[in-house]
Amino acid sequence: MWQDEILENLYKIREEHAKSFNYDFKAIFSDWLHRQAVSRKKLVSLETKPQANKSVSH
């Protein structure tokens, strides 16, 4: 079966990160927020993107 090396590496990193916080989601999420604040980059946007006006003419 074909395996994607990039995804496998991502899963490994995600597992190690979760394990380092004893799989506590609140602690993991707090770490994500802390990393985002420290990096000063907007990593997650909850804003909706404006949709293009797609008018269909027949």
Q: What is the pLDDT of residue 46?
A: 76
| Higher local confidence (pLDDT), 43 or 48 | 48
- The model's pTM is 0.59
Range with the largest mean pLDDT of 21-30, 34-43, 48-57: 21-30
Angle between helices 25-39 and 5-20 (to 10 degrees): 110
Cα gap 26→15, rounded to integer Å? 15
- Boundaries of every domain in the chain: 5-39
At residue 36's C-alpha, the angle toward residues 20 and 8, to 5°, is: 50
Percent of the chain surpassing pLDDT 70:
84
Cα gap 20→31, rounded to integer Å? 11
* Pair of tokens at residue 56: 């269909």
For the segment 20-35, what is each residue's pLDDT rounded down to a tens digit? 999 999 999 999 889 8
